[in-house]
Amino acid sequence: MDAMAEIRATFFEECAEQLADLEAGLLAIENGEADSDTVNAVFRAVHSIKGGAGAFSLDDLVHFAHVFETTLDEMRSGRLDSSEKVLKIMLRSADALADLVTVARDGGSADAERNAGLIDELKGLVALAKGEEPPAPKAAGASAPSDGPVYDDGMGDLDFTPVAVDLGDLMGIGGDNRFRIVFKPSPRMYAKANEANRVLRDVYTLGEAKVACNISEVPLLPAIDPEGAYLTFTIELSTAESEEKVREVFEFVEFDCDLTIEAVHDAPDGEIDADDPDIADILARIRATPDDEPLETPAKDEEEPKDAPEMREPEEPKATAAAPAARTPAPAPAAPAAAAKADAGGDGKGGAGGGAAQTIRVDLERVDRLIDLVGELVIHQVMLSQRAYQAGLARASDVAVGFDELEQLTREIQDSVMAIRAQPVKSVFQRLPRLVREVADISGKQVRLITEGEWTEVDKTVIERLADPLTHMIRNAIDHGLEKPADRLAAGKAEEGVVRVAAMHRSGRIVIEISDDGAGINRKRVKEIAIKKGLIPAEANLSDEEIDNLIFLPGFSTAEKISSLSGRGVGMDVVKRSIQALGGRVSIASKPGRGSTFTMSLPLTLAVLDGMIVSVGDQTVVVPLTAIIETLQPKASEVKSFGGDARLVQVRDTFMPLVDVARELGYSYELANATGGVAILVEAENGARSALLVDAIQGQRQVVIKSLEANYGRVPGIAAATILGDGRVALILDVDAVVATSRVEGNFFNSGMQHAAE
């Protein structure tokens, strides 16, 4: 049972990947970036899901995937144009397929009505591609009662013509690999509780397989060994997979059976010219069909098996009749042939890629444990060398050199381990198109999503926790940011709104920008609402930036009525808080009439940090190196006081605020003497520079981040904590927060925000 559950889990994991490929492929086609390989990839994705689902008897999923696959096949063969309308249906089908996979995995029920509608639409497309009158009631009538795959329709109640056309379609998909597999289990195999039918089921999932069973070795009953093995299976397999993949199926039984797998290059039987592999392929597929299909429409009574041979018989003439018909289109359009070649090429590439870049699936927990251990290793390595020096170890000694090497090694190990966890943000970005489609549908707006930098890598934890805030912000961008199509036209903009999501690395952090080309933040209204809700006093005089930031206040909502999308006032403050919890920040830039840009900035990893160790009062504090530009010792002449406690420091020809860190963190209430300490020039996310005044610099070191929230609680101005070489805990400074609090200290609005964040 466990093994089965595991296989099932793997299947769903693979499904997720296939669904991602499917969606990515369809979007590429929509954007006109597709080549024939893309269409094939899309087709293969659906096909694989169907195959796997079949093995687990997930009938709904199989059925839907089958219809979807048939339609994609039309597209693959170039008979169905990838027009906008077609792609819309395809994309919605991809969503439906994803839902079905989810239902199959987690239980629940799918939207049967929608799926049925989509199936009809897909079938309509197939009919259209075949040049039949589009979704004729006849076709609908034929498909409605039979729940089986569409091939049945052609066989059951229609004349043979559609089947012949089917063959023409199949022409385009040649280039598949074909194998003849002779599989003779030995008694040992059964003794090990391996079932031949399970192996065969796995073979079916690879592609179209026809199994012939040789029963001639079965003895009479008195002579039989009940647990013996007498059957030999000959499988004609036509698959997109490589021989290696096919062999994998037999991996577990390899030594307990006689097995030959050979690639077949000519037609299985000599009844048709063997020169054309496409035709042979078609034959293989046709033969496979009756074997495959009845699985879903099993015999109801004894009559059925009687029918089966009859049904088979017309199969052969059909094939022969179809072959000449199929031949005619073959040389004419070059496209399907090219597609077939590309398919083969793609497979080759896939195979080669599989050889070059092999991957394994590892339980995330194991990686995390490794990372934790390496973190401890780093701490101990630092401790060890510090102790050694304290004990009087000479810097030039061999042991010291050894320590240096050890340090480099530990660092390399740490980098490598972190790289295991780094993943492109693509996995999150992939979910966005669907989200945008759904939100656009609900809100009645037309939206185009542009994503950039999806290969930007970031730690897996960050990615996982990025999804929710990102989803929320995109919803917001569409629901609040973009105007209704009519308003857009009135404003002289294109009817279709654009939402752009871009990820990039910037100074050791990942920055994600979500921008829309909507109306921008209506500052007047935002302020009015904030006053009405008592969030700010009526006479408050706020800068534009401050008004924009009001939308991050808890309980703020600009939406006049609550929609299913947003407007319940639990929006941006939650976004802001979850980003802050990740050690990130979010900011807004908005231009009236031109749109808004939300910028999220997050650390690349939550595990290590290069920092400068400084003394502040009696405490040791770590300043992230990424924020630091330079350090200097201010001279008395360079420090200017103004407006009470505020101070500026002159650096070359510019002035910047001097932030007394000890005071900000509450280590001292006295203003520190500027000339007695060191000023660290830092740059905040928004590019503003300030100087942090600290007492002294101890050194520069990589520190392992230990979450303060998890172990203690959130402290404003502090990003996290670490353990130093001597075993003491040091706090890691949240530079932006410290700078921001100091600048607008006493501002009711900011202290309110601070309060909210706590």
Partner 1 sequence: MPRKSPKTTAVEGAVYTLPEILDLKAATPLTEKLMSLRGQNIVLDASKVERLGTQCVQILIAAAATWKDDMAAFSIAEPSDSFTSGLQVLGLTPQAILEKEVAQ
Residue ranges binding partner 1 (CB under 8 A) = 185, 190, 193, 195-197, 200-201, 204, 210-213, 215-216, 218-224, 226-231, 233, 235, 291, 294-295, 298-299, 301-306, 308-309
Chain Cα centroid distance, residue 50: 21
Nearer to partner 1, 4 or 696 (CB): 4
| Nearer to partner 1 among residue 198 and residue 426 (C-beta) | 198
What are residue 525's phi and psi, to 5 degrees?
-70, -40
**Burial of 669 per CB tally in 10 Å (0-12, 13-18, 19+):** exposed
- Least distance in Å: CB of 294 to partner 1? 6
Instruction: Please report the beta strands in 558-653, taking only residues with DSSP state E, as ranges in sequence order.
Output: 585-591, 595-603, 608-616, 619-624, 628-632, 639-641, 647-651
Which of residues 20 and 200 has its CB atom nearest to partner 1 in the complex? 200
Please, what is the minimum distance in Å from the beta carbon of residue 5 to partner 1?
Answer: 18
Site of tokens 């018909």: 325
d(CA 203, CA 252): 13
> Cβ of residue 57: shortest distance to partner 1, in angstroms?
9
Closest to partner 1 by CB, 204 or 403: 204
Taking the complex as a whole, the smallest distance from the CB of residue 295 to partner 1 amounts, in Å, to 5
Please identify, using beta-carbon distances, which residue of 210 and 493 lies nearer to partner 1: 210
Residue 515: left if φ>0, alpha if ψ -120 to 50, beta else—which one? Answer: beta
CB of 187 to partner 1, least distance (A): 9
- Residue 292 beta carbon to partner 1: minimum distance, rounded to whole angstroms: 9
Q: Which is nearer to partner 1, 231 or 383 (CB)?
A: 231
Which is nearer to partner 1, 209 or 428 (by Cβ)? 209
Distance linking the first and last C-alpha atoms of the chain: 48
79: nearest Cα among 344, 336, 328: 336
CB-based contacts of 626, cutoff 8 Å, min separation 6: 507, 508, 509, 610
Q: Which residues pair with 510 in a beta bridge?
A: 505, 602
What does the H/E/C string look like for 650-697? Answer: EECCEEEEEEEHHHHCCCCCCCCCHHHCEEEEEECCCCCEEEEEECEE
Residues 187, 191, 195, CA angle at the centre, nearest 5°?
Answer: 85
Report the nearest approach of partner 1 to the CB of residue 7 (Å): 17
| Shortest reach from residue 406's CB to partner 1, in Å | 57
Identify which of 257, 255, 277 has the alpha carbon closest to the alpha carbon of residue 266.
277
Measured distance CA(521)–CA(541) in Å, rounded: 17
Element (H, E) at 187: helix 187-191
- Nearest approach in angstroms of CB 56 to partner 1 is 14
Site of tokens 């004349």: 159
Q: Which is nearer to partner 1, 259 or 406 (CB)?
A: 259
253 vs 326, which CB is nearer to partner 1? Answer: 253
Cα angle, residue 483 at apex, residues 479 and 484 outer, rounded to 5°:
95
- Least separation in angstroms between residue 63's CB and partner 1 is 16
Identify which of residues 257 and 693 has a Cβ nearer to partner 1 in the complex. Answer: 257
Nearest CB to partner 1, comparing residues 200 and 542: 200
- Tokens 């990740």 correspond to 582
* Minimal distance, residue 214 CB to partner 1, in Å: 9
Query: Interhelix angle for 364-390 vs 398-421, to 10°?
Result: 160
Which amino acid, one-letter code, is at 253?
V
Q: Which is nearer to partner 1, 226 or 727 (CB)?
A: 226
Assess contact for 457 and 472: CB atoms under 8 A: no
Query: What is the gyration radius of the CA atoms in the chain, in angstroms?
Result: 33
Contacts of 687 (CB under 8 A, 6+ apart): none
Min. distance of Cβ 301 from partner 1 in angstroms?
A: 6
Backbone CA torsion sign across 457, 606, 415, 610? positive
Q: How far is CA 291 from CA 150, 219, 466, 538, in A?
A: 15, 26, 47, 77
DSSP state of 315: H
Classify residue 397 by its DSSP letter.
Answer: S
What is the number of H-type helices and E-type strands within the chain? Answer: 27, 22
Q: By C-beta, is 193 or 396 nearer to partner 1? A: 193
Q: Measured from the CB atom, is 54 or 336 closer to partner 1?
A: 54
Is the Cβ of residue 30 or residue 291 nearer to partner 1 in the bound state? 291
CB of 241 to partner 1, least distance (A): 19
Q: How far is the CB of 287 from partner 1 (least distance, A)?
A: 11
Own/partner long-range contacts of 223-231 (Cβ < 8 Å, ≥24 apart):
225/187, 227/187, 227/190, 227/191, 228/187, 229/184, 229/185, 229/186, 229/187, 229/189, 229/190, 231/184, 231/185, 231/196
C-beta separation of 380 from 410 below 8 A: no
Count, residues in the chain: 758
- Shortest separation between residue 252's beta carbon and partner 1, angstroms: 15
The minimum distance between CB 245 and partner 1, in angstroms, equals 20
202 or 573: whose CB is closer to partner 1?
202
Least distance from partner 1 to the Cβ atom of residue 254, Å: 17
Nearer to partner 1, 253 or 621 (CB): 253
